[in-house]
């Protein structure tokens, strides 16, 4: 009887192991961005101490060593790296290129006895490693040794990107981010197969790159008065007030960061924003403006008036003078040094939100317009951009700018970033320009990502599900003109890397899948399940992210004078509970049945919370009748 009892226990343990193994196989393929082809196989690979990682060609050595370090830190295993094809884990470059996967693609094969990553170039090996790491248990993200069962499900993955430009922009002008912060952010986006880091280095609020021939750009332009409070509502600087806030990157810093990015297959595209957004430059060199009046590096004051239809008026001059030859001499010096620091083909020159009111009142600009036989002051921007493009061409660089560069005419060689929706990108593509799609409506990850009464306030919202729905190639546009897409992180309200992470993720994960994965492979429900697994990984990696996708979505309308409330959620499987009787909602309160709710008269306060599996998961939302009235029709 005792023997039978022991056999029964052994059988139960065996069945538990089999079920655990099956669960690992079924749930472990949680890769973001979604690969082109995933074929599940039988069994799992077990990582063990002393196993070898091999590379067949010297170009694969750095990837093999990076993989050994990434696996070795959390496991504590000593994984030897060697040249050849004898490793249990192999990273191999094809002798004959595989045309299907192209430059950045890879084939990852996991069997119980071996892991092989094969690619045409080292960049493909790097991306294959990123997918492999996502197949390991979440503990792989630990920065110290941890204990778990280091298994990988058997699978064959064939993968390559849809778009060649997969970018994220970080604005370091509004708030300065240290060299180490920038490296950490580059590390994070490389994990999700982004290959372009657009570095917004200059604006009204700080000049962040050392230009040795123009030292005042960083001596003066990199620093501003200290202010707290909401950006855009801060007090004006005062004459003689200390300027302790800011910073800049030395040219040695830039070289270090460029090399760091290259090792992670990320191209850095620098932006020097001209002719508008130049207040920090003018604080250093006021003679380059029309009025030549002294200005300060702006700490976040209300320096413009916006009229709701896209037009605005600047209350402080922030624009370079297009009629002054000294401006082009200045830019030649700037772009000479920038071009030497960044090996990529592009320099981004901004061109957005250029206020031309000071140009219209300037005698030099009027004389230039007469000489050029142009009637509209807006056309001076076309003249300016053409001059800038010639400066860049002389340094072997291509001009890239926001979609306003189309105004006034630019050469067909210029590349356009479409940010004011997709309209500018469509127009540019029809004119034969290469285009990077980065519209506010899908890709501005500085916008609020959830309930406006909870999120840090900014003037617009963008939910993760909306970002995921983005299609970069509009109907009627030839796909060959769309280089890809980009997420933009403006930092007026983002003072720290921790908050930059909060605003980036999970929307940057959603856009990673938009830019990499096949259009037909996108599935929101599938993505949202993967996203939650990556929340767990981020927790272990100490990377911040937003949980706004768990919060209820509350919309209102009016019918016969009554407020009608509709409630929904971004992801499936959530229960929404609410009260209107001034009690706190929980799972015993009224459960939303999916139908519109008609609010009774009176001083009603709606309280809403989401649950999953009988446990609260979303934030409590509290909306007064006045709050609900204000959002009618939004």
E-assigned strands of 18-175? 37-46, 52-55, 80-83, 89-93, 106-110, 115-119, 151-159, 165-171
Q: Distance between CA atoms of 361 and 349, rounded to whole angstroms? A: 25
Task: Tokens for 82, please give them.
Answer: 């060697």
The predicted pLDDT at position 493 comes to: 96
Element (H, E) at 394: helix 379-394
Could you list the active site residues? Answer: 203, 277, 353
The predicted pLDDT at position 407 comes to: 82
Q: How many CA atoms lie within 13 A of 434 on its CB side?
A: 14
Query: Which residues in the chain land under pLDDT 50?
Result: 2-4, 9-27
Q: What number does CATH give the domain 551-630?
A: 2.60.40
CATH architecture assignment, domain 2-159: 2-Layer Sandwich (3.30)
The predicted pLDDT at position 88 comes to: 98
- State the CB neighbour count (10 A cutoff) for residue 558: 12
Are the C-beta atoms of 189 and 266 separated by less than 8 Å?
Answer: yes
List the domain boundaries for the chain. 2-159, 165-517, 551-630
CATH architecture assignment, domain 165-517: Alpha-Beta Barrel (3.20)
Q: How many CA atoms lie within 13 A of 80 on its CB side?
A: 8
The predicted pLDDT at position 17 comes to: 45
pTM value is 0.94
Q: Distance between CA atoms of 256 and 249, rounded to whole angstroms? A: 10
Distances (CA, A) of 163 to 30, 43, 264, 426, 514: 21, 33, 18, 17, 9
The predicted pLDDT at position 634 comes to: 74
210: left (phi over 0), alpha (psi -120 to 50) or beta: beta
């Amino acid at each position: 009887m005792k023997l039978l009892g022991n056999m029964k226990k052994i059988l139960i343990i065996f069945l538990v192991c089999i079920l655990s193994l099956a669960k690992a196989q079924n749930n472990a393929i949680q890769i973001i961005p979604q690969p082109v082809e995933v074929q599940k196989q039988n069994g799992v690979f077990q990582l063990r101490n002393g196993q070898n990682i091999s590379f067949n060609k010297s170009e694969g050595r750095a990837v093999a060593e990076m993989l050994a370090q990434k696996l070795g830190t959390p496991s504590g295993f000593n994984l030897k790296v060697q040249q050849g094809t004898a490793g249990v884990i192999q990273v191999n470059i094809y002798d004959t290129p595989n045309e299907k996967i192209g430059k950045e693609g890879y084939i990852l094969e996991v069997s119980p006895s071996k892991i092989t990553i094969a690619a045409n170039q080292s960049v493909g090996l790097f991306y294959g490693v990123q997918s492999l790491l996502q197949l390991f248990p979440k503990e792989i993200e630990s920065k110290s040794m941890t204990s778990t069962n280091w298994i990988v499900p058997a699978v064959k993955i064939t993968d390559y990107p849809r778009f060649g430009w997969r970018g994220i922009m970080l604005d370091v002008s509004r708030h300065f981010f240290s060299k180490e912060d920038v490296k950490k952010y580059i590390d994070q986006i490389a994990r999700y197969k982004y290959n372009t880091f657009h570095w917004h280095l200059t604006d009204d609020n700080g000049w962040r790159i050392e230009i040795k021939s123009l030292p005042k750009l960083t001596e003066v332009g990199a620093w501003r008065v200290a202010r707290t409070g909401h950006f855009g509502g801060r007090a004006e600087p005062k004459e003689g007030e200390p300027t302790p806030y800011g910073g800049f990157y030395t040219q040695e810093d830039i070289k270090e960061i460029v090399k760091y990015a290259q090792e992670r297959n990320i191209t850095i595209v620098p932006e020097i924003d001209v002719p508008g957004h130049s207040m920090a430059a003018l604080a250093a060199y006021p003679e380059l403006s029309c009025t030549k009046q002294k200005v300060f590096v702006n700490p976040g004051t209300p320096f413009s008036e916006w009229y709701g239809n896209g037009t605005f008026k600047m209350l402080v001059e922030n624009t370079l003078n297009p009629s002054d030859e000294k401006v082009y001499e200045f830019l030649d010096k700037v772009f000479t040094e920038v071009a030497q620091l960044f090996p990529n083909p592009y320099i981004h020159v901004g061109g957005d939100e250029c206020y031309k009111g000071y140009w219209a009142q300037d005698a030099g600009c009027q004389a230039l317009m007469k000489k050029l036989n142009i009637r509209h002051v807006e056309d001076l921007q076309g003249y300016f951009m053409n001059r800038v493009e010639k400066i860049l061409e002389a340094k072997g660089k291509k001009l890239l700018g926001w979609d306003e560069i189309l105004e006034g005419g630019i050469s067909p060689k210029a590349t356009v970033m479409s940010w004011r929706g997709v309209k500018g990108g469509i127009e540019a593509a029809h004119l034969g320009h290469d285009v990077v799609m980065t519209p506010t409506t899908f890709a501005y990850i500085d916008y609020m990502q959830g309930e406006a009464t909870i999120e840090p306030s900014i003037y617009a919202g963008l939910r993760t599900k909306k970002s995921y729905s983005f299609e970069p190639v509009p109907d009627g546009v030839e796909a060959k003109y769309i280089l890809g897409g980009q997420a933009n992180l403006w930092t007026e309200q983002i003072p720290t890397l921790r908050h930059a992470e909060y605003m980036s993720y999970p929307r940057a994960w959603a856009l990673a899948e938009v830019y990499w994965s096949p259009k037909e492979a996108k599935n929101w429900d599938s993505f949202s399940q993967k996203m939650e697994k990556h929340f767990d990984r981020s927790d272990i990696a100490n990377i911040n992210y937003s949980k706004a996708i768990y919060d209820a979505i509350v919309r209102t309308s009016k019918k016969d004078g009554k407020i009608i409330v509709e409630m929904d959620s971004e992801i499936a499987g959530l229960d929404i509970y609410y009260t209107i009787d001034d009690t706190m909602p929980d799972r015993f309160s009224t459960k939303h049945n999916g139908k519109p709710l008609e609010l009774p008269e009176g001083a009603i306060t709606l309280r809403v919370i989401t649950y999953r599996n009988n446990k609260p998961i979303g934030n409590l939302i509290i909306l007064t009748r006045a709050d609900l009235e204000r959002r009618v029709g939004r």
